Chains A and B, each alone.
Chain A
Amino acid sequence: MSTLLEIDDLRVDFSRDGRVTSRALRGISLAVEAGEAVGVVGETGCGKTLTGLSVLRMLPDNASVSGRICFEGQDLLELSARELRTIRGRRISMVFQSPGTSFNPVFTVGYQIGLVAERHLGVGRKEGQRLVAETLHAVGLPNPESVMRFYPHELSGGMLQRAMIAMAIICRPSLLIADEPTTALDVTIAQQILRLLRRLQREQGFGVFFISHDLDLVSDFCDRIAVLYAGRVVELGATAELLRRPRHPYTRALLEALPGRAQPGAPLPTVPGTVPSDLDEAPGCSFAPRCPLVVERCLQERPVLAEIGSGHAAACHRWDAL
């Protein structure tokens, strides 16, 4: 199996008027194999969405990026704007959190999806519309021909998300970046969408970069999980292994905080303290101020993400104490 996507020491800074205002990503390294689903979890602000956007180079002008993002052997950070446009929507696609605002309100759904197919696959209007109908059917929408003629505001959240997925897969990409695709949906609809994504992944064989703050969700869907904290990957490993034996205090805290694991009658466990600011330059581990296993070394020396078992990596000095 070849590595589909390899992110190596990705760093993203934001600046204004010449000064750096935020060091959002501080050396992200992770990989997605062909056909594999990798979950990227963390709390709000940890940089997971930003990582996804960086892969597609959809960053604002005031962002500066360094590192390598290798997709099918090519470093995406070296490509020109024109080359990137051939990749976006065609070989790497993205599904967004709120389909309601992601579709253009004044064009029909069919038109918008068809546009993507026409531009990337070089097909004409009629062929494009046929493909759209076909894809809408594949994502489980009934009556594709009439759904196509609807405007976004005329469709429900669930249907729109399916349409968004259709737009993402119509060109048969090799990688799908899903940014909290179910967060804005009802629980039952969310489950349907996840099942749909899993089915499509099996049928078409694309890799998935699944961004979420919900560890439960991700553990259901993904083969491997990367846990992000304050702009860095703190743990990376196969789902089952990670859940059974987490090797980073933060991962363990996240697991313990899951509602499903709560003990009846006892208060829900939380992690005391707050995430450090994105300009923080403390020398040691960024989780140290909140860590129950903290020792002197944690405050002086930043732990690096290191392999601790087959395919399992953790950035913690005390990983073997867990």
Chain B
Amino acid sequence: MLHFLRRRLLASLLTLFGITTITFALARVVPSDPAVVYIGPLARPAEIARVTKELGLDRPLYEQYVSYLGNLFQGDWGTSLATKQPVLGGIAARLPATLELILLAMTLAVAVGIPLGVFAAYRKGHLPDAGARVGSVVGISMPVFWLGLLLQVLFAEWLQLLPAIGRLSLETEVLDPITKITGFYLIDSLVTGDWAGFRDAASHLVLPTITLAAYPAALITRMTRAAMLDVLGQDYVRTARTFGLSERLVLWRLALRNAMPTTLTVSGLSLAYLVTGSFFVEIVFNWPGIGQYSTSALLNLDYPAIMGITLLGATVFLVINLAVDLLQAKLDPRVRLQ
């Protein structure tokens, strides 16, 4: 197992290296001049020349790349051309907001998707199955940004039930802000006993979380249902029933375990989807997370920021895949780690 981890780590590092190279190449093949982005649209030639030298943009490309890599290892992810702030710091500051959203959405997706999928497979051909199938195909067909807008209009505007934007209401932000410990407002407010803050943060989380969770929940439902249908047709399920074990035991413990590999894989993919999906939800709901940072970086061609985001995204993706593979091996004794 250690051997497997060593090899995977090495492969991952190589992949990350490859990704960094590709992104760097892309970012520097840019039609726009980073110096101009840095200064702003009213740049004058003299300023451009000065900034170009200052930022080291006049050095050969490969030299820039090598020094970039070197800096990476020391924890310096460069400086954003737009905000003039360190990229790493900029990402770190906004990360908790995005993470809180992603983790909640993932939890919701799994909590809804797995039981629904199991139930649909069990009651195949009946109403729960039809409902789950319709619901899930609708869920994977909806553009996430559109869903977010719809929910905003419906719940925030017409029904006036939930807030439309932001992590906290203006009042709370200004008058009684939540003490920042982890950056996760739900945790921070609970830990400090700030019930008002907790309620405020929670109500702001509802719509974005549902929006973000819709696609993964639908996907997980579909995959779990398919896997369970396969499992329920197997001999060992019939055997378990022949030995008088209850339907609940047979379905939720004995059968589901066999469907888990599929469910796990799909959940891992969903989590990866959430990383980029959150961009859109953050835009629609004015969520102060990485999404907004990334989108403006992309539109402004702020290449240090773009590299930072890509590096982060790819790393997260690699970690998720590794975790999924490890869990697969644990779940199914027939799988051998390669």
Interface residues of A (CB under 8 A from B): 56, 58, 84-90, 93-94, 96, 98, 101-107, 115-116, 119-120, 151, 153, 167
Contacts and interface: CB of A to CB of B under 8 A. Distances in A.
B262 to A, nearest CB: 13
Given A86-B244, A119-B244, A120-B244, A102 B249 contact: no
Given A106-B332, A151-B333, A96 B244 contact: no
B243 A151 contact: no
Interface in B201-242: 234-236, 238-242
Given A107-B254, A153-B334, A58 B249 contact: no
B258 interface: yes
Q: Is the interface of B mostly helix, strand, loop or mixed?
A: helix
Nearest to B331: A106
Given A119-B249, A153-B333, A107 B257 contact: yes
Interface of B: 234-236, 238-246, 249, 254, 257-258, 331-334
B333 A88 contact: no
B243 A88 contact: yes
Nearest to A86: B244
Contacts of B244: 84-90, 116, 119-120
A153 B243 CA distance: 21
Contacts of A85: 244-246
A197 to B, nearest CB: 18
B239 A93 contact: no
Contacts of B254: 104, 107
Contacts of B242: 56, 58, 88-89, 94, 96
Given A104-B254, A106-B333, A151-B334, A115 B235 contact: no
Given A101-B236, A106-B257, A119-B246, 13 more contacts: A84-B244, A88-B243, A89-B243, A96-B235, A105-B236, A106-B333, A107-B254, A115-B249, A116-B243, A116-B244, A116-B245, A153-B333, A153-B334
A102 B236 contact: yes
A86 B331 CA distance: 30
A89 B245 contact: yes
Contacts of A115: 245, 249
A254 B50 CA distance: 102
A102 B235 contact: yes
Contacts of A167: 243
B123 to A, nearest CB: 12
A88 B249 CA distance: 15
Nearest to A164: B239
Contact of B245 (A98, A107, A119): A119
Contacts of A90: 244
A56 B243 CA distance: 9
Contacts of A101: 234-236
A105 B261 CA distance: 13
A74 B242 CA distance: 19
Contacts of A88: 241-244
A120 B257 CA distance: 22
A93 B235 contact: no
A106 B245 contact: no
15 contacts: A58-B238, A58-B241, A84-B244, A85-B246, A86-B244, A102-B239, A106-B331, A106-B332, A106-B333, A107-B254, A107-B257, A116-B244, A120-B244, A151-B333, A153-B333
A69 to B, nearest CB: 15
A119 B243 CA distance: 10
Nearest to B245: A119
A104 B241 CA distance: 12
A115 B333 CA distance: 19
A90 B331 CA distance: 30
B334 A103 contact: no
Contacts of A96: 235, 239, 242
B310 to A, nearest CB: 38
A112 to B, nearest CB: 8
B333 A103 contact: no
B273 to A, nearest CB: 27
Q: Which of B239, B245, B331, B333: most chain A Cβ within 10 A?
A: B239
A105 B238 CA distance: 14
Contact of B236 (A93, A94, A104): A104
Q: Which of B244, B257, B331: most chain A Cβ within 10 A?
A: B244
B130 to A, nearest CB: 17
Contacts of A84: 244
Contacts of A86: 244
A103 B238 contact: no
A56 B240 CA distance: 13
Q: Which of B239, B243, B254: most chain A Cβ within 10 A?
A: B243
Contact of A105 (B240, B241, B249, B258): B258
A42 to B, nearest CB: 21
Contacts of A103: 236, 239
A194 B173 CA distance: 78
B241 A93 contact: no
B228 to A, nearest CB: 14
B244 to A, nearest CB: 3
Contacts of A105: 236, 258, 332-334
A101 B245 CA distance: 18
A177 B85 CA distance: 76
A93 B243 CA distance: 7
B287 to A, nearest CB: 40
A58 B235 CA distance: 12
Among all A-B residue pairs, the 10 with the closest Cβ atoms: A89-B243, A88-B244, A89-B244, A101-B235, A85-B244, A104-B236, A102-B239, A151-B333, A106-B257, A116-B243
B331 to A, nearest CB: 7
A86 B246 CA distance: 10
A56 B242 CA distance: 7
A120 B245 CA distance: 9
A86 B243 CA distance: 9
